[in-house]
Structure formats: C-alpha cells, structure tokens
Amino acid sequence: MKFFFELGRYLLFLRSMFFKPERLSVFVERTLHEMNNIGVGSLPIVAIISIFVGAVTTVQTAYQLISPFIPVKIIGTIVSDSSLLELAPTITCLVLAGKVGANIASEVGNMRVTEQIDALEVMGINSSGYLGLPKIIAGLIMIPCLIIFANFLLISGGILAAQLTGIMPPNEFIQGARDTFTFFTLSVSMTKAFVFALIITSVSTYEGYYADGGALEVGEAGTRAVTRSCIFILFFDFIIAKLMLNA
C-alpha cells in the first residue's frame, strides 16, 4: 500500500510542477543557475570516472580476448559500444544520483523543515513548480551533455590505456570503434540520458519536498533520494535496453 501511496503522491507532485511561472525572467534565471550547479559542477567527477572506466574496460577486454584468431581492433569496437550503450549513461547517472540527487534532496528538504517552502506558498507561489521545474529542465539539458562528454572521455581513456599498456596503437582502436558505430547506438545512449535525468532530478526533489521533521529527516531524505534514484535508473536501464535493443 505504501508503494502505491508514494507512487500516487510522486505523480501528483510531478503534475503540480507544470504551471505558468509567476515571473518568466526569475524562472529562466533559476534554470540557468541549476544548469550551472548540475552540469558545470559535475564536470570534474564525470571526467575522472569516465577516463578510468574507459581505461579499465580496455585493459580487461584485452585480457579476455587474447587470441591470434581475433583482430585486436575488436577491443576498440567492444569498448566504444559498451561505452555508448551502457557505461557512459548508466555509470555516469549512478554517480550523478549520488552527487546531484543528494544535493537537491538536502537543499529542498532543508527549505521544507525551515518553513521556507511554506513561505513561498503563503506568498502565492507554486512552490513545487518554483523549486522543482528549473531543476528538472536543467537536468534534462545538462545530463545528456554530460553523457556525451562521458562517452568521449570513456573512449579517450580506452585509447590512452591501449597505447600506454601496449595493447594496440590508437589508430587500430579508432578503426575498431568506427567499424560498428551507428547513430542508433548513440540514440539509445541519449534516450537513457533523458530518462535518467528525469529520474534523478524529480525523485530527489520529491524526497526533499516531502521531508518532515528536522536535520535527521533531511539526511534520511538525501539517502532515500540516492537509493531510489539508483534503483529506478537500473530498472529503466533494463526496460530501455529491452525495448530498443530487442534482437
């Protein structure tokens, strides 16, 4: 029963966000501010993780494919396809669920327990829309950009690792990556990026918005935001893979 209560409340919360902003200029300003927080603020962690995941995937793939009958450029194919289809969108968004999700939930939760959300409501402002919608729009714009950036760095990390460890020269890696590249693969990656962006921003805002109590409950809301976002990301990862890649 609790699951259906939460699901219903979450859907009503999403519906309550879509409104005509009280002042468009304030809404745009808030959206740009959130884009900076979510996008620019996450660049370093996304860069570090992507380069290392790309490098490790290359080394491990090479370890499993040592055979004179398999051309080495296959390693480039596997790493680039894995990056586009799974590693860049899923690993990046799981990390962002922790960084961005916890940040959003604690910010909104703190506003709830210090009556700042009540203050917005008393002023006649749609608080869920004022707080939530700029974060969702910023996430839908910036997280796909971060995924493209992560894709690029994952493959770059793979090329770098292949070169430094002597697995193969960069041109062979790139040739392997190019052989099987299709825009459909990229569209799967972007579909995941948009769905995961919506999950991270909306679930985290929801958890913060309904935090109740004090500092302890704000912390719990942050933890719930991260765990629930991660579970939904993995669930929808499977659904999208099944729907789009059903051979």
Nearer to other proteins, 130 or 173 (CB): 130
Helix (H, G, I), strand (E, B) or coil at 83: helix
CA distance 42 to 215: 25
| Stretch 52-111 residues interacting with other proteins (CB under 8 A) | none
Q: Which of 7, 32, 119, 245 binds other proteins (CB under 8 A)?
A: 119
According to DSSP, residue 124 is labeled: T
Q: Which of 8, 22, 243, 245 binds other proteins (CB under 8 A)?
A: 22
State yes or no: residue 26 binds other proteins (CB under 8 A). Answer: yes
State yes or no: residue 212 binds other proteins (CB under 8 A). Answer: no
Nearer to other proteins, 33 or 178 (CB): 33
State yes or no: residue 44 binds other proteins (CB under 8 A). Answer: no
Nearer to other proteins, 122 or 216 (CB): 122
> In this structure, what token pair is assigned to residue 235?
């669930």
State yes or no: residue 171 binds other proteins (CB under 8 A). Answer: no
State yes or no: residue 124 binds other proteins (CB under 8 A). Answer: yes
Alpha helices, DSSP H, located in the chain? 2-17, 24-38, 43-64, 73-82, 92-96, 102-113, 116-122, 127-164, 170-180, 183-209, 215-244
Q: Which of 60, 115, 179, 182 binds other proteins (CB under 8 A)?
A: 115
According to DSSP, residue 40 is labeled: G
State yes or no: residue 23 binds other proteins (CB under 8 A). Answer: yes
Q: What are phi and psi of 228, to 5 degrees?
A: -70, -40
Q: Least distance from C-beta 115 to other proteins, angstroms?
A: 4
According to DSSP, residue 1 is labeled: -
How many chain residues bind other proteins (CB under 8 A)?
13
State yes or no: residue 215 binds other proteins (CB under 8 A). Answer: no
Q: Least distance from C-beta 110 to other proteins, angstroms?
A: 8
State yes or no: residue 28 binds other proteins (CB under 8 A). Answer: no
Q: Is 166 left (phi over 0), alpha (psi -120 to 50) or beta?
A: left
Q: Least distance from C-beta 201 to other proteins, angstroms?
A: 18
CA distance 27 to 126: 12
According to DSSP, residue 19 is labeled: S
- Rounded to 5°, the CA angle 231-237-243 comes to 140
Q: Which of 125, 136, 225, 230 binds other proteins (CB under 8 A)?
A: 125
Q: What residues line the site for other proteins (CB under 8 A)?
A: 22-23, 26, 114-116, 118-119, 121-125
